Amino acid sequence: MVPLLRIAAVAATFPIVLAACQRSDGTPEERRPVRTVVVAPHGAPALAEFSGEVKPRVETRAGFQVPGRITQRLVEVGQTVKAGQPLATLDAQDYRLAADAANAALTAAQVDRDQQRADYRRFEELQAKGFISQAELDRRRASLDAAEAMHRQAAASAHSSGNQTAYSVLRAPHDAVVVGIDAEPGQVVAAGQSVMRLARIGAKDSDGEKEVLIGIPEQQLALLKAASDVQVRLWAGGAPIKGKVREIAPVADPATRTFPARITLIDPPADVALGMTATVAFTMSTARPTAVIVPLQALQAEGGQTHVWLYDSASQSVQRRAVRIDNVAGNDVVIGDGLKAGDVVVTAGVHQLKEGQPVKLLSQTTELAPAAPETLRPPKPGTAR
């Protein structure tokens, strides 16, 4: 009895399925809603943008030239210092004792040299009168030469000991801002060990410039060679600052696997402070005065070819159009061939369309304004790119 009921239930569903197929075949094809944009020519598009930090062009790691225990630190982070200003001191007692010993040795060598000179003059007179031989005079001359050499050695040793004592005071090598402290009083440091980090300022040459340090992924190194303009925007606000690529490291950073690059700020405002966060946008140079840009979501790849869907207002349908991509700039794509100004491109629902399919606009068509692309605008702090 149960099998008969199941057969009857299955048989009862066949008319429903057939009826559904008949309704689908007999009704006109449904118009699929889509979003579109009108292609408009742009200026040079943004090729890429990166977040970075404002850094000094020259950052010196200052340290003592001699080892010892730090007794005093005379400056704080953020303080402006002048060339030659004391920054920190070492315990110099041992160096002063060594200098005293060297000076005493110099005095003894000087006395011996003077005595040898007086003796040699007397022996010269005796040899002229025939009281001593020429060989004896030569021996006296050798003794004088040795005394003079010992005096020069003692003088050099005393000078070196004096330098060692002077090196116990760390002085600023140039006008700078203290940006970091690496050692504190009571710490024993080796010769050359970093004690403070100094950012050079106020230099008449380029050493006092401010730069933005960024990291460039390896896949974008070749693209950035086409950059004709660099714009820097601070997250703190303000007008864009023109920049210039000063250097790109030939070796990737082992931690981030990106290539460090330094962007020099050209005539930055006085309120640009070291450590500020900035966004660097590279603008691509093109052979054409304008470029055609479409959103990335308007593209569809199929069969090894990239194409877009164009909307025909007369037939209210879409047609496929093959395009050639020049570059990708963030969420925008620079089209090298296949589109012209005025074409209406579908930007949403492209993966569900077919050739000649009737569509309806989901909302009023918007136009790609020829203003700067979105990639030129810096992201809000805290947002991921």
In this prediction the pTM is 0.57
pLDDT, one tens digit per residue, over 129-177 is 888 899 999 999 999 999 999 999 999 999 999 999 999 999 999 899 9
Q: Indicate the range of 9-23, 86-100, 212-226 predicted with least confidence.
A: 9-23
For the segment 193-212, the average pLDDT, to the nearest whole number, is: 78
Residue 360, pLDDT above cutoff 50: yes
Which of 77 and 224 is assigned the larger pLDDT?
77
Distances (CA, A) of 156 to 96, 153, 189, 316: 16, 5, 26, 96
pLDDT of residue 238: 83
Task: Categorize the per-residue pLDDT at 331 as very low, low, confident or very high, splitting at 50, 70 and 90.
Answer: confident
In the chain, where are the structural domains located? Answer: 29-45+289-376, 50-57+209-217+225-251+259-279, 59-90+168-200, 93-166
The owner of tokens 């692309």 is: 373
Task: Categorize the per-residue pLDDT at 316 as very low, low, confident or very high, splitting at 50, 70 and 90.
Answer: confident
Which of 342 and 121 is assigned the larger pLDDT?
121
CATH fold of the domain at 29-45+289-376: 2.40.420
Report the distance separating Cα 297 and Cα 305, nearest Å: 15
CATH fold of the domain at 50-57+209-217+225-251+259-279: Elongation Factor Tu (Ef-tu); domain 3 (2.40.30)
- Span 59-90+168-200: which CATH code? 2.40.50.100
- N residues, the chain: 385
pLDDT of residue 37: 82
Residue 286, pLDDT above cutoff 70: no
For residue 42 the two structure tokens come to 């742009």
For the segment 373-382, the average pLDDT, to the nearest whole number, is: 42
Task: Categorize the per-residue pLDDT at 338 as very low, low, confident or very high, splitting at 50, 70 and 90.
Answer: confident
pLDDT, one tens digit per residue, over 81-140 is 999 999 999 999 999 999 999 999 999 999 999 999 999 999 999 999 888 899 999 999
- Mean pLDDT, the chain, rounded, equals 80
CATH classification (class only), 93-166: mainly alpha
Residue 296, pLDDT above cutoff 60: yes
Distances (CA, A) of 140 to 55, 116, 121, 135, 275: 66, 8, 10, 9, 70
Segment of 38-52, 97-111, 198-212 carrying the highest mean pLDDT: 97-111
For residue 318 the two structure tokens come to 């879409």
Give the burial string for 70-84 (b: 16+ CB within 10 Å, else e).
beebebeeeeebeee
Share above pLDDT 90 across residues of the chain, in percent, rounded to a whole number: 39
